[in-house]
Structure 1
């Protein structure tokens, strides 16, 4: 079995911005508070403790207890919720969309990274309590992003129309979806467990938020995970001052624009609106626009004067939904949070926000890239050994893998670099001779050298092509294996659903992940299942 470690930076699957962040490049240090190292949490704890509104804790706990009514709640989760009343309790958060049946595998890795970090923090700082939080993105309205999942290379899509916040979306119609999906699972014990899990989550709950809460709780409740639905009027009541500030002064736009000007060498993840709030109802989530001294809800006839919208904020804060720029602030205002755990794309947009947080005087959390995992079977590991491949080979682009396999099996070197060097040495004598004549002869020597080097390069390409034909079977075995581990030439965790692996591993899957993942370790984890 290959033993080489693949860092995120060397995997080929992270953006230049994320690579530079993970390398702690100096040009990015002003964009985050503290880099996520265990020793840096001491100062983060002190800062959050000094700046958090502890008077909001009782209402936070009351809201969570209300949301957990009727949900089978483990002792550890109950204990974690109650501990949020106490001033020395802090949270670690991950957020995720309400993807159907959890969506891609990394849903598990985000939550496990969060749970495991709270364990590490408790061991290091025993005087404080640390609660893992899953923030359900119930207010998102991009249904097309979440209405499917992949199982063994097949896409299972929920055909339904939705225009409002997905958390409020009715689960009507999922019975028909389930009928099709369960046929793919078979009749094993693990298949029966998956069917029951899906059925109890989606067919016994009225909306997608409740269904997702049930599923996440079924998977992680015994580990103390606390699930929050922030589409809630009581929670938004604590956010009222920031909603008003955004409507009246649009500070987020100015601050984020200034930050993104320092990120021009990278691809900007999100661009701010002038007002980074939506107006939200059951079947509606549309941008609020300031126009002609009035506040208009995009694509509707709703128009408010300043006085009217300020009154609405106070009486009905639940009608205001933060967008991708304001949601992080909402999270940090209502929760005593130390760290946000997310994928590379999420951390990238968080890096645009620190100056905005400073403007509104809210502590900016530490930002941790979630664990990434590659699940491999014993059979696949044996194939890797037989083909004499390393993980670096398998993480490489497929053309590079083909070249590597060809070179390994070839009885002679395909790389003609030595011949090119010999040729260049021979031409060095000709250049010395040319220096004693006129410039036209020097030009002729240069042209001839270029022509002959080009000829060697063409021969090298033809030689490689010929050897690839010769070792086509070995190449096919290697690329088939790579395609199994990296479906659609992408990371497994971004493509496959957990049910594909639960079908094989059952209840041992999550404990194995919990035991293996180290959230502060920046390397891909290879786990045998």
Structure 2
């Protein structure tokens, strides 16, 4: 079995900004508070405890109890909710869209990273409590990003119109999709379990937020996971001062622009608006724009004077929805949070926000890149051994992998480097001779060198091509294996749904992932099932 270790930086799937962050490069250190190492959490706890409004804990617990009132939750989850009342309890948070039936596999990895980190912290700091939080992105409105999941190469899509926040979206119509899905699942014991989870989540709840809460609780409730829907008027009341500042001062726009200037050598993940808030109703989520002395709601006829919009904020804070720039601040205002766990793209946009947090005097959380995993079967691992491949080989681009396999199987060197070196020596002698004549002869030597070098390069390409034909069977087996592990030439965790693997392995899938994933370890975990 291959045992090589693939770091995130060497995987080929992380951006230059993420690689520099993971390497703790000096040029990005000003963009975060503390790097996520176990020993750094002590200072983060001290800072958050001093900076967090403990009066809001009671509000948080009250809202969570209300949201869990209709859910059969574990004793551990209930204890975790209750513990949030006391000032020695802190949260570790991940967030995710309300993807249908969880969407891609990394939904599991985010939550397991969060659960496992709380356990590591409890072992290190036993005087404190640590609660794993899943923040549901109920206020997002990009339905096309979440209305499907992939199962064995097929896209299971929910065809429906949606304009408002997705958490409020009715689950009506999902019974038809379930009929299609259950035909794909078959009739095994694990298939029956998956059908039950889907039915109870999506066919017995009226909106997507409640359905997703049920799904996450069914998978992770026994691990103490606490699921929060922040599309809530009571929680937003605690956020009113920050919404007001955004409306009147546009603090986030100014602060984030300062930071993006520092990131000019990288791809900017998100650009701030002048006002980073939406106006929402059940079927509406549109930007708030300030122009000509009025606050207007994009693509509508709604408009407000300054006094009118502040009165609306005071009476109906639930009508104001933070965008990607403001949502992290909302999270950190209402949660006693120490660390946010997300994918590379998420962490990249969080790195734009520290100066904004500083200006509004809210502690910036530690930022941890979630675990990444490649799931492989015993059969696939045996194939890898037989083909004498390493995991490093399989993470390579397919063209590079084909070249490696060809070189590995060839009985002689395919590159013509010795011949090129000999040619270079011959022409070096000719250049010495050319110096004793005129420039025209030097030009002729240079032209001949270029011609013969190119000829050797062409021969080298033809030799490689001939060897690829000779080893076509080995190459086909290798590329077929890579395509199984990296569907659509992408990471498995971004393509496949957990149900594919649950169907084969049942609850063991989650049990094994929880036992294997180490959130503070920056390497791809290869998990054999």
TM-score by length of 2: 0.99
The residue that corresponds to 1:394 in the other structure is 394
The residue that corresponds to 2:466 in the other structure is 466
Deviations 1:12-40 (A, max 9, x none): 11111111111111110110111111111
The residue that corresponds to 1:365 in the other structure is 365
Mean CA deviation greater in 135-144 or 467-476: 467-476
Deviations 1:48-100 (A, max 9, x none): 01100001101100000000001011111011000000001100000000000
The residue that corresponds to 2:383 in the other structure is 383
Deviations 1:296-355 (A, max 9, x none): 000111110000101111111000000000000000000010000000000000000010
Whole-Å separation in 2 of the counterparts to 1:25 and 1:130: 29
RMSD: 0.7
Deviations 1:214-234 (A, max 9, x none): 000000000000000000000
Mean CA deviation greater in 271-280 or 433-442: 433-442
The residue that corresponds to 2:166 in the other structure is 166
The residue that corresponds to 1:142 in the other structure is 142
The residue that corresponds to 2:416 in the other structure is 416
Per-residue deviation, 1:444? 2.0
Whole-Å separation in 2 of the counterparts to 1:65 and 1:415: 68
The residue that corresponds to 2:260 in the other structure is 260
Deviations 1:446-478 (A, max 9, x none): 222121111111111011111111111110100
Whole-Å separation in 2 of the counterparts to 1:442 and 1:317: 80
Whole-Å separation in 2 of the counterparts to 1:436 and 1:220: 82
Whole-Å separation in 2 of the counterparts to 1:207 and 1:354: 34
The residue that corresponds to 2:304 in the other structure is 304
How many correspondences in the alignment?
A: 529
After superposition, residues 79-98 of structure 1 pair within 5 angstroms as 79-98=79-98
Per-residue deviation, 1:437? 2.6
Deviations 1:272-297 (A, max 9, x none): 10000000000000000001101000
Secondary structure, aligned partner of 1:352: coil
Whole-Å separation in 1 of the counterparts to 2:208 and 2:475: 45
The residue that corresponds to 2:250 in the other structure is 250
Whole-Å separation in 2 of the counterparts to 1:495 and 1:301: 40
Whole-Å separation in 2 of the counterparts to 1:450 and 1:338: 61
Per-residue deviation, 1:410? 1.1
Whole-Å separation in 1 of the counterparts to 2:514 and 2:371: 11
Whole-Å separation in 1 of the counterparts to 2:33 and 2:455: 55
Per-residue deviation, 1:11? 0.5
Whole-Å separation in 1 of the counterparts to 2:227 and 2:432: 76
Per-residue deviation, 1:439? 2.7
After superposition, residues 59-74 of structure 1 pair within 5 angstroms as 59-74=59-74
Deviations 1:337-389 (A, max 9, x none): 00000000000000000100011110000000000000000010111011111
The residue that corresponds to 1:522 in the other structure is 522
After superposition, residues 302-381 of structure 1 pair within 5 angstroms as 302-381=302-381
Per-residue deviation, 1:408? 1.2
TM-score by length of 1: 0.99
Deviations 1:398-452 (A, max 9, x none): 0011111111111111111121112112222122222233333222222221211
Secondary structure, aligned partner of 2:7: coil
The residue that corresponds to 1:126 in the other structure is 126
The residue that corresponds to 2:293 in the other structure is 293
Secondary structure, aligned partner of 1:340: strand
Alignment partner of 1:429 is 2:429: yes
Alignment partner of 1:32 is 2:32: yes
The residue that corresponds to 1:269 in the other structure is 269
The residue that corresponds to 2:507 in the other structure is 507
The residue that corresponds to 1:487 in the other structure is 487
Whole-Å separation in 2 of the counterparts to 1:56 and 1:463: 71
Per-residue deviation, 1:524? 0.4
Whole-Å separation in 1 of the counterparts to 2:442 and 2:24: 49
Secondary structure, aligned partner of 2:403: helix
Deviations 1:139-185 (A, max 9, x none): 00000000000000000000000000000000000000000110000
Whole-Å separation in 1 of the counterparts to 2:423 and 2:56: 77
The residue that corresponds to 1:280 in the other structure is 280
The residue that corresponds to 1:3 in the other structure is 3
Secondary structure, aligned partner of 2:259: helix
The residue that corresponds to 1:13 in the other structure is 13
After superposition, residues 226-241 of structure 1 pair within 5 angstroms as 226-241=226-241
Whole-Å separation in 2 of the counterparts to 1:405 and 1:326: 49
Secondary structure, aligned partner of 2:507: helix
Per-residue deviation, 1:266? 1.0
Whole-Å separation in 1 of the counterparts to 2:433 and 2:49: 77
Secondary structure, aligned partner of 1:93: strand
Secondary structure, aligned partner of 1:164: coil
Whole-Å separation in 2 of the counterparts to 1:255 and 1:418: 57
Deviations 1:467-500 (A, max 9, x none): 1111111101000000000000000000000000
List gaps (5 residues or longer) in structure 1. Answer: none
